[in-house]
C-alpha cells in the first residue's frame, strides 16, 4: 500500500495557501446537492458540522449522547494554544510549529503541523466572535498563560473550563445551523459501521440507543470525529462512553490505523480507590509547581503521612532528577511513580499512589497563596477523596489521558478509504508521539473550522457519485451484519458482564502496554488478550432486549471492539523497537531515563491494515521527512 500524504510541494509557509488555491471549488448553488455525514459532536465534529452547514451542504450529524453539548472535549481544563504573540514574548507561527514538532518527538508530519500553527490564530478570533468568555486583563484584552513544553505564554483560557467554553461555542454554531435546517442532528444514535460502494465511503449504519433500531444513512462523504481510544486501559480520564468503535469499524473496512501505540499517560490524576472505580480524574499539572512528590522509604511503612519523619521520606523525583525535580516531564514523572509503587512503597489503600505534599509551600507562602493558586483543585480533590489537602498530602497516580494515534489521514484529512475523512483526536496527524498541553483543543478546532471545510469541497468536486439509497445491497448487508452480531451477543447467555471483560483487558493493557513497555511484556500481552476475547464470545451475558434502551448491550458492543483493537496497539508497540515521546520501550533509554529514538529505523509513521480478527495486521510505512526542523534529541534541560 502506498501511503501518499498528498503534501503540496513548495515552501512550507506557502503549502496551505497554494493548496487552497489549487483545490477545486463547488459553486454555492450546487453545494446543497451534496450530503455529508459527521459522526461525533466534540470540538472537531461540531465545528466541522457548523462550517459545512454555513457553506450550504446538507449535513447529518450523529452523537451517542443525549445532546451535542456533552462530548468529552468539554472536560478539557487548561487552555488552547495560538501563535498570536499578544504578550510580545517572541512567539510566532514558526515557534508554535517548532515546539509542536519537538514536543511530538519528531514523529509527526511537518506540513500538517505547520498548517495547524498557521490556523491557530483564526481559532481564537472565531471563538471570541462566538462569545467565548476567555480570561481578560484589566485593559479588556485577552490574557495568556504558559504551559508545558513552551517558553512563551501562548495559551488562552477560560478559568479551568476552556474545553467547556470552546465546545459550547462550537455547539451554539452547530445548533444555529440546526435551526437554519442545513443540519439534521441525530442524538442517542451510535455508529455501528461504515458502508463502501464502488470504493467510496457512502454512508453509515447506526443503532438508535432508545429503540435499538438499526438504521442506514447515505451520504457523499463521511467525517469521523469520534475521539480517542484511551478507554482501552479501562480506567482513564476519558468519559465513560468514549470508545474505539467508529474508528475500529472503519479500520475493519480497510482504513489503515496509524501509530496506535502512541498513548499519553498523565502523571497527576487522583488514584484508584478500589475495584468499583469507574474513572480517573485529572488534576491540573500546575500543582507540581508547588507540591513535592514523595513516598515512604520503607516498604511496610503504613503510618499516616504526617507521622513519617522527614528522613524516612523519599522525594524520589528530587533525588533522581535533581535539576528538574518535581517538574520533570510527564512521561518521566509517570514512570518514576510506577517504579516506586511496583517496589511496594506506594501509598493509598491500593498501594498505587504517591504523595503530592504542599506543607512546605504552605509554610513558605502561606495558605492563602496556595488557596489562590489551586483552591478549586483542592476542593475537587477533597470532594473525591474526603481529605483536606491543606492538612494531609494529596495522593496522585498516572492515568491514561489522550491518544495520539488514530486513523491514518493524508494532508486533506482523508483516510485510505476515499470519502472517509477523520478529524480531531480520531486521526493521527499532528501530535506525533506526544501531545503538548493545550494543543488538543487547537487541533480539534483547526480540523473542523479551517481545514476540512476546504478539503472536503475538493473531494466532492473531484469525484462522481452515483445515486445510492439505503436499500442498496451494501447497506442491507451492513445492517444485517450488525444485527447478527447483536443477536449473537444476546444469545450467549454466559456469566460475565461486559464491564468484567473490559476490566480484565484494561489490567493487561495497563500492566504490559502502559507507561513502560518491553519486548517480553508486550509478547505476554499478545498471549493474554486473545483468551479474554474468546471467553467474551462464549461467556458474555447481556440482559434485556436488543430493540430497547439497553445499556448492557451498548457497553458490550464497545468492549467487543476494544478486545480486537487492543492487539493492534500491542503489535505497534512491539514493532516500534525504539522509544519516542510517550512510547517508552525500556530497552531504549538514555542513562537519565529519557526516551532514545532510532531515527535510522523508525523515522516513519506505522499504519496497520486489517487482516482478520486475531491475525497480525500488515504494517505499512509513511516515511517522515524533516526539511524545516532538524531532528535532535528532545531535551528540556
Partner 1 sequence: MKLTLHIWRQKSARDKGKFEEHLVDDVSPDMSFLEMLDVLNESLIHQGKEPFAYDHDCREGICGACSLTINGTPHGPEAATTTCQLHMRKFKNGDSIFIEPFRARAFPIIKDLVVDRSAFDRIIQVGGFISVGTNQPQDANALPVSKLKAELAMDAAACIGCGACAAACPNGASMLFVAAKVSQFALLPQGQPERKKRVVAMVEQMEKEGFGGCTNFYECEAVCPKQVSVRFIAMMNRDFLGATLTKE
Among 3, 23, 92, 122, binds partner 1 (CB under 8 A): 122
Would you give the DSSP letter of residue 580?
B
- Per CB under 8 A, the segment of 133-141, 320-328, 366-374, 580-588 that binds partner 1 is 133-141
Looking at the Cβ atoms of 68 and 214, the one nearer to partner 1 is: 68
Looking at the Cβ atoms of 229 and 408, the one nearer to partner 1 is: 229
* Residue 93 beta carbon to partner 1: minimum distance, rounded to whole angstroms: 15
* Near partner 1 in 509-568, by CB under 8 A: 541, 543-544, 548-549, 551-552
* Near partner 1 in 458-517, by CB under 8 A: 495, 497, 499-500
Task: Provide the 10 A C-beta neighbour count for residue 310.
Answer: 7
* Residue 448 beta carbon to partner 1: minimum distance, rounded to whole angstroms: 9
* Near partner 1 in 86-115, by CB under 8 A: 86
Looking at the Cβ atoms of 551 and 621, the one nearer to partner 1 is: 551
* Residue 274 beta carbon to partner 1: minimum distance, rounded to whole angstroms: 6
Among 72, 335, 472, 502, binds partner 1 (CB under 8 A): 72
Contact 380, 283 (CB under 8 A): yes
Looking at the Cβ atoms of 251 and 449, the one nearer to partner 1 is: 449
Size of the site for partner 1 (CB under 8 A): 84
Which stretch of DSSP H or E encloses residue 200? strand 200-208
* Near partner 1 in 337-356, by CB under 8 A: 349
* Residue 184 beta carbon to partner 1: minimum distance, rounded to whole angstroms: 12
Which stretch of DSSP H or E encloses residue 127? helix 110-129
- Per CB under 8 A, the segment of 68-76, 300-308, 401-409, 613-621 that binds partner 1 is 68-76
Pairing of strands 292-296, 394-403: unpaired
* Near partner 1 in 369-388, by CB under 8 A: 380, 383-386
Would you give the DSSP letter of residue 447?
I
* Residue 387 beta carbon to partner 1: minimum distance, rounded to whole angstroms: 10
d(CA 292, CA 530): 42
* Residue 82 beta carbon to partner 1: minimum distance, rounded to whole angstroms: 9
Q: Does 240 bind partner 1 (CB under 8 A)?
A: yes
Told to judge if 288 belongs to the known catalytic residues of this protein, a careful annotator would answer: no
* Residue 124 beta carbon to partner 1: minimum distance, rounded to whole angstroms: 5
- For residue 623, the SS3 value is strand
x/- track of binding to partner 1 for residues 135-174 (CB under 8 A): xxxxxxxx---------------xx-x-xxx--x--xxx-
CA dihedral of 531, 532, 533, 538, whole degrees rounded to 10: 90
CA dihedral of 512, 514, 516, 519, whole degrees rounded to 10: 40
Among 69, 202, 502, 558, binds partner 1 (CB under 8 A): 69
The grid cell for 633 is: 534529541
**Conformation bin of residue 634: beta by default, left when phi > 0, alpha when psi is -120 to 50:** beta
Among 61, 65, 112, 403, binds partner 1 (CB under 8 A): 65
d(CA 559, CA 584): 26
* Near partner 1 in 210-239, by CB under 8 A: 210, 239
Contact 123, 446 (CB under 8 A): yes
Q: Does 131 bind partner 1 (CB under 8 A)?
A: yes
Looking at the Cβ atoms of 44 and 336, the one nearer to partner 1 is: 44
* Near partner 1 in 258-277, by CB under 8 A: 273-274, 276-277
Q: Which of 202, 207, 292, 330 is catalytic?
A: 330
Would you give the DSSP letter of residue 271?
P
* Residue 41 beta carbon to partner 1: minimum distance, rounded to whole angstroms: 11
Q: Does 124 bind partner 1 (CB under 8 A)?
A: yes
Q: What's the Cα-to-Cα distance from 437 to each of 96, 154, 256, 321, 583, rounded to whole Å? A: 12, 11, 27, 22, 17
- Per CB under 8 A, the segment of 71-79, 216-224, 359-367, 583-591 that binds partner 1 is 71-79
Contact 144, 86 (CB under 8 A): yes
Q: Does 134 bind partner 1 (CB under 8 A)?
A: yes
Among residues 414, 448, 412, 443, the alpha carbon closest in space to that of 45 is found at 448
Gyration radius of the chain's alpha carbons = 24
Among 39, 45, 46, 47, binds partner 1 (CB under 8 A): 47
- Per CB under 8 A, the segment of 44-52, 189-197, 528-536, 597-605 that binds partner 1 is 44-52
Q: Kindly give the residue spans of alpha helices, DSSP state H, lying in 344-414.
A: 359-365, 367-385
Q: Kindly give the residue spans of alpha helices, DSSP state H, lying in 201-323.
A: 245-252, 316-320
* Residue 148 beta carbon to partner 1: minimum distance, rounded to whole angstroms: 21
Which stretch of DSSP H or E encloses residue 406? strand 406-407
The grid cell for 338 is: 510506577
For residue 57, how many C-alpha atoms fall within 13 Å in the half-sphere facing its CB?
Answer: 27
Among 13, 33, 176, 616, binds partner 1 (CB under 8 A): 176
Would you give the DSSP letter of residue 450?
I
Among 62, 294, 449, 610, binds partner 1 (CB under 8 A): 449
Looking at the Cβ atoms of 332 and 441, the one nearer to partner 1 is: 441
Which residues, 6+ apart, have CB-to-CB distance to 450 below 8 Å?
Answer: 119, 122, 123
Among residues 63, 192, 188, 195, the alpha carbon closest in space to that of 485 is found at 192
Among 13, 17, 33, 54, binds partner 1 (CB under 8 A): 54
Which residues, 6+ apart, have CB-to-CB distance to 446 below 8 Å?
Answer: 115, 116, 119, 120, 123
Contact 66, 82 (CB under 8 A): no
Q: 110-129 vs 93-103: helix axis angle to the nearest 10?
A: 120
* Near partner 1 in 570-599, by CB under 8 A: none
- Per CB under 8 A, the segment of 50-58, 147-155, 251-259, 609-617 that binds partner 1 is 50-58
* Residue 281 beta carbon to partner 1: minimum distance, rounded to whole angstroms: 5
Q: What residues are annotated to the active site? A: 330
Amino acid at each position: 500500500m502506498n501511503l501518499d500524504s498528498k503534501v503540496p510541494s513548495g515552501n512550507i509557509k506557502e503549502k496551505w495557501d497554494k493548496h487552497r488555491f489549487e483545490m477545486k471549488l463547488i459553486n454555492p448553488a450546487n453545494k446543497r446537492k451534496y450530503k455529508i455525514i459527521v459522526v461525533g459532536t466534540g470540538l472537531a465534529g461540531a465545528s466541522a458540522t457548523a462550517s459545512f452547514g454555513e457553506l450550504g451542504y446538507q449535513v447529518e450529524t450523529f452523537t451517542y449522547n443525549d445532546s451535542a453539548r456533552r462530548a468529552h472535549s468539554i472536560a478539557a481544563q487548561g487552555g488552547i494554544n495560538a501563535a498570536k504573540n499578544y504578550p510580545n514574548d517572541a512567539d510566532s507561527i514558526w515557534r508554535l510549529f517548532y515546539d509542536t514538532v519537538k514536543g511530538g518527538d519528531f514523529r509527526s508530519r511537518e506540513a500538517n503541523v505547520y498548517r495547524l500553527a498557521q490556523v491557530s490564530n483564526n481559532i481564537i478570533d472565531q471563538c471570541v466572535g462566538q462569545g467565548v468568555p476567555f480570561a481578560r486583563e484589566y485593559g479588556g484584552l485577552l490574557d495568556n498563560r504558559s504551559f508545558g513544553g513552551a517558553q512563551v505564554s501562548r495559551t488562552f483560557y477560560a478559568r479551568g473550563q476552556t474545553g467547556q467554553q470552546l465546545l459550547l461555542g462550537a455547539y451554539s454554531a452547530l445548533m444555529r445551523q440546526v435551526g437554519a435546517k442545513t443540519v439534521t442532528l441525530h442524538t442517542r444514535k451510535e455508529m455501528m459501521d461504515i458502508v463502501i460502494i464502488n470504493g467510496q465511503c457512502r454512508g453509515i449504519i447506526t443503532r438508535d440507543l432508545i429503540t435499538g433500531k438499526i438504521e442506514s444513512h447515505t451520504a457523499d462523504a463521511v467525517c469521523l470525529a469520534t475521539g480517542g481510544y484511551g478507554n482501552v486501559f479501562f480506567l482513564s480520564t476519558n468519559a465513560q462512553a468514549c470508545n474505539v468503535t467508529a474508528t475500529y469499524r472503519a479500520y475493519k473496512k480497510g482504513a489503515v490505523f496509524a501509530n496506535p501505540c502512541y498513548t499519553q499517560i498523565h502523571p497527576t490524576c487522583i488514584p484508584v480507590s478500589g475495584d468499583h472505580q469507574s474513572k480517573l480524574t485529572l488534576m491540573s499539572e500546575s500543582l507540581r509547581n508547588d507540591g513535592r512528590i514523595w513516598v515512604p522509604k520503607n516498604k511496610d511503612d503504613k503510618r499516616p503521612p504526617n507521622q513519617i519523619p522527614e528522613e524516612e521520606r523519599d522525594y524520589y523525583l528530587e533525588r533522581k532528577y535533581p535539576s528538574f525535580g518535581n517538574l520533570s516531564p510527564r512521561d518521566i514523572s509517570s514512570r518514576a511513580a510506577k517504579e516506586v509503587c511496583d517496589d511496594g512503597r506506594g501509598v493509598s489503600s491500593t498501594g498505587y499512589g504517591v504523595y503530592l505534599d504542599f506543607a512546605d509551600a504552605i509554610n513558605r507562602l502561606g495558605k492563602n497563596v496556595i488557596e489562590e493558586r489551586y483552591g478549586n483543585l483542592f476542593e475537587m480533590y477533597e470532594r473525591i477523596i474526603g481529605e483536606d489537602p491543606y492538612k494531609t498530602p494529596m495522593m496522585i497516580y498516572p492515568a491514561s489521558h489522550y491518544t495520539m494515534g488514530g486513523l491514518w489521514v493524508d494532508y486533506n484529512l482523508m483516510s485510505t478509504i476515499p470519502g472517509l475523512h477523520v478529524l480531531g483526536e480520531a486521526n493521527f496527524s499532528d501530535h506525533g508521539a506526544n501531545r503538548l498541553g493545550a494543543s488538543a483543543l487547537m487541533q480539534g478546532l483547526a480540523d473542523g473550522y479551517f481545514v476540512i471545510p476546504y478539503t472536503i469541497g475538493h473531494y466532492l468536486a473531484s469525484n462522481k457519485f452515483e445515486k445510492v439509497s439505503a436499500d442498496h445491497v451494501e447497506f442491507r448487508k451492513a445492517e444485517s451484519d450488525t444485527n447478527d452480531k447483536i443477536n449473537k451477543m444476546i444469545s450467549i447467555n454466559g456469566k460475565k458482564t461486559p464491564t468484567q471483560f473490559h476490566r480484565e483487558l484494561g489490567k493487561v493493557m495497563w500492566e504490559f502496554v502502559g507507561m513502560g513497555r518491553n519486548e517480553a511484556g508486550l509478547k505476554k500481552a499478545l498471549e493474554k488478550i486473545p483468551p479474554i476475547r474468546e471467553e467474551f464470545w462464549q461467556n458474555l451475558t447481556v440482559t434485556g432486549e436488543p430493540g430497547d434502551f439497553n445499556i448492557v448491550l451498548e457497553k458490550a458492543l464497545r468492549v467487543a471492539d476494544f478486545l480486537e483493537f487492543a492487539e493492534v496497539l500491542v503489535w505497534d508497540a512491539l514493532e516500534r523497537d525504539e522509544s519516542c515521546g510517550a512510547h517508552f520501550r525500556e530497552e531504549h533509554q538514555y542513562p537519565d531515563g529519557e526516551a532514545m529514538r532510532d531515527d535510522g529505523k523508525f523515522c516513519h509513521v506505522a499504519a496497520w491494515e486489517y487482516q482478520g480478527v486475531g491475525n497480525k495486521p500488515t504494517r505499512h510505512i509513511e516515511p517522515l521527512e524533516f526539511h524545516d526542523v532538524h531532528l535532535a534529541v528532545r531535551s528540556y534541560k
